[in-house]
Amino acid sequence: MESPDRTRGAGRYAPSPSGDLHLGNLRTALLAWLFARGSGRRFLVRIEDLDRARDGGTGERQLRDLERLGIDWDGEPVLQSERGADHAAAIERLDAAGLVYECTCSRRDILAAPSAPHAPPGAYPGTCRNRSEAERRAAREAIAPRRPALRLRTEVAELSYEDLLLGRVRGDIDDFVLRRGDGTVAYNLAVVVDDAAMGVDQIVRGDDLASSTPRQILLQRLLGLPSPPALQYAHVPLVLGPSGARLAKRDGAVTLAQLRDRGIGDAEVLGLLAASLGLAAPGERVTAEALLARFEPSRLPREPWVWRDPEPR
């Protein structure tokens, strides 16, 4: 990819093409755009398509939905699936430093294993960490044809960072996966490598990812990549459905296409999102550009927004 213009910095939005964007995705995208444009940064888009094959146009529909709300971006969207060489190089660098080991544990094995004292639930217990070469060979043969995963050998149990909205955030760190047994690079590794390559220095995303961010900061440090305070994080509140769970397709009309079918146009959806952020009065029609003049991060709500399926008009 072309060398990014790092003099301006960049924010980004990085959806996974698992379906059309819903209101929660769109609200986060709008916030990421406002944070970036409001601070004079470039705004970039990356389609995080590592976990699934090309999906018949979902990524393109997602891009069109962003455009419908007035969200623009700089350059061409990046496909994460085309970034494999850099992901592999990062793992090789960590491996050369003695920080990578094979793991043959299944999810069931991890849950059944005794945990270390004070370890958080689900933390990797280190089963495969100190195996000899003979033990690793025997373990590989035992799971064939499945391949071992690769884990990071960490010496840091926790790490904290300053979030633009949440303040000081602390997160536990275990020996987390870098590459899964099916050969797919794990999210934590891919996102760190790709953000650095794209010149991203501001990451705005849902607050459900706040506690896992310390793993990514550790990787940034180990790989010599920008990390806080040179890199900003802002984890924003989610959109919830009426049950109090994170918004999902089961909650009715939640995408732009579904809302149009209910008689709610794209401009009205933008107004609803803006009102939920305190950037517009209820029922006010606004544009994304107009919201930039009103945007003040310190005044953003810290609580989630609850969406209720509207009646058809």
Residue 260 in this model has a pLDDT that exceeds 90? yes
Report, as an integer, the average pLDDT of 287-313: 92
Which of the pair, 115 or 213, is modelled with greater confidence?
A: 213
Burial class (CB in 10 A: 0-12, 13-18, 19+), 36: buried
pLDDT of residue 46: 97
Give the span between the Cα atoms of 254 and 269, in whole angstroms.
10
Locus of tokens 């509207």:
310
- CATH tag, 1-81+260-308: 3.40.50.620
Whether the pLDDT of residue 115 is over 70: the answer is no
What is the rounded average pLDDT for all residues in the chain? 93
CA-to-CA distance for 152 and 168, rounded, in angstroms? 25
Q: Annotated binding site for Zn(2+), which residues?
A: 103, 105, 124, 128
pLDDT category, 237, cuts 50, 70, 90?
very high
Which DSSP helix (H) or strand (E) runs through 239?
A: strand 239-240
The average pLDDT across 109-113 equals: 85
Locate 297 and state its tokens. 């991060």
Q: What is the mean pLDDT of residues 163-167?
A: 97
The reply to whether omega before 229 is within 30° of 0 (cis) is yes
Helix 213-223 and helix 187-197: axis angle, to 10°? 60
Enclosing H/E stretch for 219: helix 213-223
Q: Token pair 């209910």 is at which residue?
A: 262
In this structure, of 102-106, 129-133, 249-253, the range with the lowest mean pLDDT score is 249-253
Domain pair 1-81+260-308 / 83-236, same fold: yes
Q: What is the reported pLDDT for 1? A: 46
Measured on CA atoms in the order 154, 186, 204, 212, is the torsion positive or negative?
A: negative
Please report, for the chain, how many H helices and E strands are present, in that order.
10, 12
- Distance from C-alpha of 12 to C-alpha of 203, rounded to nearest angstrom: 7
The pLDDT tens digits for 30-59 are 999 999 999 999 999 999 998 765 455 688
Q: pLDDT per residue over 174-195, tens digit each? A: 999 999 999 999 999 999 999 9
Asked whether residue 99 carries a pLDDT value surpassing 80, the answer given is yes
- Arithmetic mean of pLDDT, 203-227: 97
Q: How confident is the model at residue 112 (pLDDT cuts 50, 70, 90)?
A: confident
* Residue whose C-alpha is closest to residue 191's, from 165, 223, 168: 223
Using the structure block, give the residue that is written with the tokens 């090789």.
Answer: 92
Q: Is residue 101 predicted with pLDDT exceeding 70?
A: yes
Sorting pLDDT into bands at 50, 70 and 90, what band is 107? confident
Binding-site residues for ATP sit at 249
For 75: left if phi > 0, alpha if psi spans -120 to 50, otherwise beta; the answer is left
Q: Which residues are annotated as a binding site for L-glutamate?
A: 12-16, 48, 187, 205
Q: What is the torsional sign of CA 69, 75, 76, 77?
A: negative
Q: Using an 8 Å Cβ cutoff, are 89 and 100 in contact?
A: no
Binned at pLDDT 50, 70 and 90, residue 118 comes out as: low
Kindly indicate the confidence band of residue 2, based on its pLDDT and cuts at 50, 70 and 90. very low
45-59, 201-215, 237-251, 286-300: lowest mean pLDDT where? 45-59
| Cα–Cα dist 11/101, whole Å | 33
Share of the chain above pLDDT 90, in %: 84
* Distance from C-alpha of 299 to C-alpha of 312, rounded to nearest angstrom: 33
Known binding residues? 12-16, 48, 103, 105, 124, 128, 187, 205, 249
- Mention the CATH class of domain 83-236: alpha beta
Fill in the DSSP letter of residue 262.
Answer: T
Tell me the backbone φ, ψ of residue 93, rounded to 5 degrees: -65, -40
Query: Domain locations in the chain?
Result: 1-81+260-308, 83-236
**Residue 160 — very low, low, confident or very high, per pLDDT cuts 50/70/90?**
very high
